[in-house]
Amino acid sequence: MQQVNSANNQTDLIELDSGKVPLWEGFREAFILHLADNALILAQRNSEWCGHGPVLEQDIAITNISLDLLGQARNLYQYAALLINKEPHNLSASSLHSGGKEVTEDSLSFLRTEREFKNCLLVEQPNGNWGYTILRQYLFSVYQFLLYGQLQYSEDENLAAIAVKSLKEVTYHVRWSSEWVIRLGDGTAESHKKMVQALEEVWSFTGELFLPEPYENEAITGFDLVALQHSWLQQITNVLKEATLFSSALNEKVFMQSGGKKGLHTEHMGYILAELQFMQRAYPDAEW
Amino acid sequence: MVVTDNNNFIENITANEKAVAAIWNLLEEVYDPEIPVLSIIDLGIVRDVVLTSSVNENIEATIVITPTYSGCPAMDAISMDIRLKLIEHGYKNIKINTMLSPAWTTEWISETGKEKLKAYGIAPPNAKQIVCDTKLFVELEAIQCPVCNSYSTKLISQFGSTPCKALYQCQHCKEPFEYFKCH
């Protein structure tokens, strides 16, 4: 186990719109929860397609991706729980104080409140049409591919192990979603029109992926968000060009939505959690 | 350790080795719930078996397993099945640890495992390990149809009924089949 960042002990307050919220956990825990929340919420979103996909094989594909993301989220939550239980004084958030019990992967996903979730806004947006879902998956998968590509060399052995494992799976996601972005973008007039519209809608949620939070800067040495953004832009530009979706407007400064990584979510997040957490909230400690 | 205890010590070691070997044999009888012809040994997901005995002779068996895919739902069922199998044979103190690194690969599937897969109608992972990469619109591997042995087969989807399988169709006998993809 790596030495815990000294910043873990700080109890500073960070300014949020709503007033002051305690920075209740250490940077490394926050970073891992951020990665886990991204995976969990997109898994939950994609799973909405189960039984509703346009063709059977692609319905199976998106739900497989959902399952991979859920598995990654579990690995990350388990590791976060391990760290939090080791340094419980980092923990002052009321929703995690479940009667002095240890934190688990389940309490982290089922009992945290909206403000405690650190997923980016991109993953919580409604699925829209199939083209929008595919495009969002593509943009996010390339991000995850490059992210895990960096983390696999992290000196945090547990995080590196999760990254290596996840990278194998994300490779399939990148390949599948790239091919579909190209097929749909460079497909019929109708599919092209829908993909152009999807890109317009989704684009303003992509900037947040690369807006550094303190926990991203501090948690892992060598984690380079700027390099990540550079490679991401390069890779998606190539595919979007092939999909006849690229427009030079993408490189211009457009207003980017943000807040999710700080815990400030769009209205959609509450509905997701209501569904995701309903069972544990209604029947505490219920087991499968 | 004093010299007179030496024989005893060696006996203890061989006894421990025998007990560990017995557990490996038992684990041969635990099957993947999704692909019931494969044991978890065939799949290569059991990484280690450790037996420790404490003062009160209470033997603790630790089984280290590794998941095939992060989200594979069979892992929880497999942990439970390992536990039940060992309890059935008198072990009371059982610990099952999950290890992520090194990450599981289809190279760990045994030769007998591959034969069993094919007999079951699932094309086994190719002998030459070619894993998914980000190259687009190319089929990297020629997959043999498990029914008629033709190599004239077509990828239908990289994703199948479980995370470890892809969907193919044979162009020769027209049979759709699953391929246990290299990973």
The pLDDT value given to residue B4: 54
The pLDDT value given to residue A148: 97
- At residue B123, the 3 state secondary structure works out as strand
From the list A72, A160, A174, the residue facing B134 with the nearest CB is A174
Cβ contact B169:B179 at 8 Å = no
A98-142: per-residue pLDDT in tens? 566 789 999 999 999 999 999 999 999 999 999 999 999 999 999
Cβ contact B112:B70 at 8 Å = no
Q: Strands B122-123 and B176-180: what pairing? A: parallel
With CA atoms as reference, the chain B residue closest to A172 would be B132
Collect all residues from A whose CB is shorter than 8 A from any CB in B.
57-58, 60-61, 64-65, 67-72, 74-75, 145, 157-158, 160-162, 164-166, 168-169, 171-172, 174-176, 178-179, 182
The conformation of residue A128, written as its DSSP 8-state character, comes to -
Give B-chain residues touching A69 at CB under 8 angstroms: 71
From the list B71, B103, B160, the residue facing A164 with the nearest CB is B103
Domains of chain A: 24-282 (1.20.1260.10)
From the list B102, B136, B161, the residue facing A178 with the nearest CB is B136
Q: Given pLDDT bands bounded at 50, 70 and 90, which one contains residue A2?
A: very low
A18 pLDDT above the threshold of 50: no
Whether the CB of B21 is below 8 Å from some CB of chain A: the reply is: no
Cβ contact A273:A227 at 8 Å = no
Q: What residues does A15 pair with on adjacent strands?
A: A20
A74 pLDDT above the threshold of 70: yes
Residue A214 phi/psi, 5-degree rounding, is: -55, -40
Counting one residue from chain A and one from chain B, the pairs whose CB atoms sit within 8 A come to 85
Cβ contact A174–B100 (<8 Å) = no
A39-58: per-residue pLDDT in tens? 999 999 999 999 999 999 99
Mutate to test the interface with A, among B69, B141, B155 (most CBs of A within 10 A): B69
Question: In the Cβ-directed half-sphere of B154, how many Cα atoms lie within 13 Å?
Answer: 9
- Least trusted range by pLDDT, from A23-27, A69-73, B20-24, B148-152: A23-27
The pLDDT value given to residue A98: 55
What kind of fold does domain B3-104 have according to CATH?
Answer: GMP Synthetase; Chain A, domain 3 (3.30.300)
A66 pLDDT above the threshold of 90: yes
The conformation of residue A155, written as its DSSP 8-state character, comes to S
- At residue B53, the 3 state secondary structure works out as strand
The pLDDT value given to residue A1: 35
Give the C-alpha separation, A70 to B97, whole Å.
20
Residue in A263, A276, A282 with CA at minimum distance from that of residue A118: A263
pTM to 2 decimal places: 0.89
- For chain B, what are the domain ranges? 3-104, 107-180
Helix, strand, coil fractions of chain A, as percent rounded to 5: 65, 5, 30
B61 pLDDT above the threshold of 90: yes
With CA atoms as reference, the chain B residue closest to A179 would be B136
Cβ contact A179–B136 (<8 Å) = yes
A119-131: per-residue pLDDT in tens? 999 999 999 999 9
The pLDDT value given to residue B58: 77
Give A-chain residues touching B167 at CB under 8 angstroms: 57, 60
Q: What residues does A22 pair with on adjacent strands?
A: A13
The pLDDT value given to residue B137: 86
Dihedral angle, C-alpha A65, A68, A74, A80, nearest 10 °: -90
From the list A57, A65, A75, the residue facing B100 with the nearest CB is A75
Give A-chain residues touching B71 at CB under 8 angstroms: 67-72, 74
